[in-house]
Structure 1
Amino acid sequence: MTDIIHVIILAIIEGLTEFLPVSSTGHMIIASSAMGIASDPFIKLFTIAIQFGAILSVVVLYFKRFFQSTRFYLKLFVAFIPAAIFGLLLSDTIDALLESALTVGITLFIGGIFLLFVDKLFNQPMVEKEEDITFVTALKIGFFQCIAMVPGVSRSAATIIGGMSQKLTRTAAAEFSFFLAVPTMFAATAKKMLDFFKDGNSFTGDQIQLLIIGNVVAFIVAMLAIRTFITFLEKKGFKLFGWYRIIVGAIIIGLYIAKVPLEVI
C-alpha cells in the first residue's frame, strides 16, 4: 500500500538524482523495492510521472534560454529524435529491464568505472555555449541518450559524456543535458499516462493528491540539485560520482549474490 511517506521519499530521490550522473530510475527502482512497493502499478507510473516536476525546474531555472530562439528548439528536437524512435521500438524491452534491480547494480558499477576516467578522456573542450552546438553535434548527443534506456546507465551521465565527447565543456554539456531532458522526459511521462488511460485505468482522488505532492517535491529538490551540481562539476569533475556509483552498484550485486531479497532483484 502506497502512502504519502513513500511518495515523498521517491520524489526526493527523483529530484536529487534526475540531473546527476547516478541514474534516477535506478535509484527509484532500488528504493521502491526496498519499501516493498515496486510491483504497485501506481508506483510504476508515479516514478515516471514525477519527472514532470523535475523538468519544470529546468524551465524555471533557465527561463530566458527557453525563449530566446527557434534554433534552440530545433536543436533539442534533433537531439530528441533518436530517443523517440528507439523508445517506441524498444518499449517492451525497456519495461522488462525496469523490473531488474540486478541490471541497475551492474550498470551503476560499470558506469562508475567509466566516470573515474571521463575527465581525462575528454580534456580538450572547445564548445562553451549552447549557441555553438551544431545540429550534427546535437544529433550525436541524442544517440548517446539512447544508451540510458538501460536502467542504471543514467540519462544525465550518457548525455553529458556524449556532449564532452563532442568537445563541449563540462558546464555546456551538463546544461544541454538539462535542456534535452525537457522534451525527452515530457514525452516519456505523456506516453505512460496515455497507456495508463488507454488500458481503462483511472486515478482515485488520493492518487491525484499523491501525484501533485510528488511533483511539487521533485520540483523543489531538483532546483536545488541543479544549482549545486553545476558548481560542483566545474570545480571537481566526475570522479566522486564514479566512486559513488561503484559502491552502490557493488552493494546491489553483492546482495544479489548473497540472495538477499530486494523484492524485484
Structure 2
Amino acid sequence: MSDLLAALLLGIIEGITEFLPISSTGHLLIAQHWLGHRSDLFNIAIQAGAILAVVLIYRRRLWGLVNAFIGRDMRAPYDPLGVDISPAQARRYGFKLLTAFAVTAVGGVLVKKLGWELPDHVRPIAWALIIGAVWMVIAEQLAARRAAREGEKTEISWTTAILVGAAQVVAGVFPGTSRSAATIFVALLAGTTSRSAATEFAFLVGIPTMFAATAWELMSMLQDGGIANEDWAALSVAFIASTITAFISVKWLLRYIQSHRFTAFAVYRLALGIALLVFLPATA
C-alpha cells in the first residue's frame, strides 16, 4: 500500500471517529498497527482537520459568541434547536467554554511535564472501549431519569464546564476512552440532561483544545528539528480527508441524537473491545 493511500485511510478514520463517542485515538492506534506508525504531529494535525469541520458547522454560533464578547447587540443560537439568548448569556457561555479549556490546558501541561506517554498496545485500548461502553449506558440512563424528574435542562453550569475540562485530560491520557464520549457524558451526569446541549458544548470546547495541541506539537517539533522529517504531502492528504469526513460525520450525529440515544455506540464499543481482546495476541 502506498504511503499516500495509507494517509488517506487514516484521515478518513480520524474524521469518522473523532466526534462519534467511539475513540478516534484508539482507532488510529489500532489502524497504525497495519498502516504504519505516524508522527505525533501527523496525529494531532488530522485531529485539527476534524476540529476545522466543527468550526465550519458551528460558524454562526461562534460568530455570535464573538459578537457578544465585543459588545455588539446580536443574538446567538444557544443550541441546535435555535433558541436565542441575550449577549450577556452568550458571554457567560463563552466564559464557561474558556474555563473548560483552561482546565484542560493546565492538566495537559502537567501530564506532559510528568512525561506521560500514550500506550501503544491494543489491549489497554480494548479495555478502555469496554469500560467506556458500560459508562455510557449508565450515564445516559441516569441522565434520562433526571430528565424525567426535572425536565430537560440545556444549561451548562460552571461545575459542568470544569468537569468537562478534566474529562478531556482523562481522555487524552487513556486512548480508547474517547474525548467526545467523556465530555458528553460528564456533562449529562453533571446536570445537563439535553443530549443536544451536552454534545454542542463538548464539540465547541474541543475547538481551542485541539488547535492548541496542534500548535504545541508544532512548536516542539520546530525546537527539536523534527519537522524537517515530516511527510507534508501525506499529512496534507490526511488533513483534507479528515476535515471532509468529520463534517459529514458531525452533521449526521447532530441529526441522529435528536431522536436516538447513544446506545448503538456503546454496543459498537463493547463488540470492538471484546473482538480485540479475543483475536489479537496479548503482546499486540
Residue 170 of structure 1 aligns with an amino acid whose one-letter code is R
Scaled by the length of structure 2, the TM-score of the pair is: 0.82
Paired with 1:128 and 1:224, the residues of 2 have a C-alpha distance of: 27
Residue 265 of structure 2 aligns with an amino acid whose one-letter code is F
Q: CA deviation at 1:95?
A: 5.2
Q: CA deviation at 1:4?
A: 0.6
**Percent of matched pairs sharing the same residue:** 34
Aligned length: 253
Q: Which residue does the alignment assign to 1:108?
A: 129
Paired with 2:209 and 2:2, the residues of 1 have a C-alpha distance of: 27
Q: CA deviation at 1:214?
A: 1.4
Q: CA deviation at 1:187?
A: 1.2
- Give deviations 1:147-187, integer Å, cap 9, x for gaps: 21211100000000011112221111111111011011111
Q: Which residue does the alignment assign to 1:13?
A: 13
Scaled by the length of structure 1, the TM-score of the pair is: 0.88
- Give deviations 1:110-164, integer Å, cap 9, x for gaps: 11122233321111345654xx423333122212222212111000000000111
Match of 2:222 among 180, 193, 197: 197
Q: Which residue does the alignment assign to 2:74?
A: none
Q: Which residue does the alignment assign to 1:152?
A: 176
Match of 2:237 among 194, 210, 213: 213
Q: CA deviation at 1:247?
A: 1.0
Q: Which residue does the alignment assign to 1:134?
A: 157
Q: CA deviation at 1:13?
A: 0.7
In the TM superposition, what are the counterparts of 1:1-265 in structure 2 within 5 Å?
Answer: 3-35=3-35, 37-38=36-37, 40=38, 42=39, 44-68=40-64, 69-70=68-69, 71=91, 72-91=93-112, 96-123=117-144, 124-125=146-147, 128-129=153-154, 132-149=155-172, 150-168=174-192, 169-203=194-228, 207-256=231-280, 258-259=281-282, 265=284
Q: Which residue does the alignment assign to 2:84?
A: none
SS at match of 1:178: helix
SS at match of 1:96: coil
> Which runs of 5 or more residues in structure 2 are unaligned?
70-90
Judge conservation of contact 1:29–1:98 (CA < 8 Å) in 2.
no
SS at match of 2:19: coil
Paired with 1:203 and 1:216, the residues of 2 have a C-alpha distance of: 21
SS at match of 1:139: helix
Judge conservation of contact 1:15–1:218 (CA < 8 Å) in 2.
yes
RMSD (CA atoms) = 2.1
Paired with 1:255 and 1:82, the residues of 2 have a C-alpha distance of: 38
Paired with 1:92 and 1:242, the residues of 2 have a C-alpha distance of: 33
Q: CA deviation at 1:230?
A: 1.6
Paired with 2:257 and 2:228, the residues of 1 have a C-alpha distance of: 40
Paired with 2:251 and 2:227, the residues of 1 have a C-alpha distance of: 36
Paired with 2:116 and 2:28, the residues of 1 have a C-alpha distance of: 14
> Which runs of 5 or more residues in structure 1 are unaligned?
none
Q: CA deviation at 1:82?
A: 1.8
Paired with 2:135 and 2:274, the residues of 1 have a C-alpha distance of: 15
Change (3 A) 1:92 1:10: farther
Judge conservation of contact 2:160–2:186 (CA < 8 Å) in 1.
no
Judge conservation of contact 2:4–2:233 (CA < 8 Å) in 1.
no
Paired with 1:94 and 1:4, the residues of 2 have a C-alpha distance of: 32
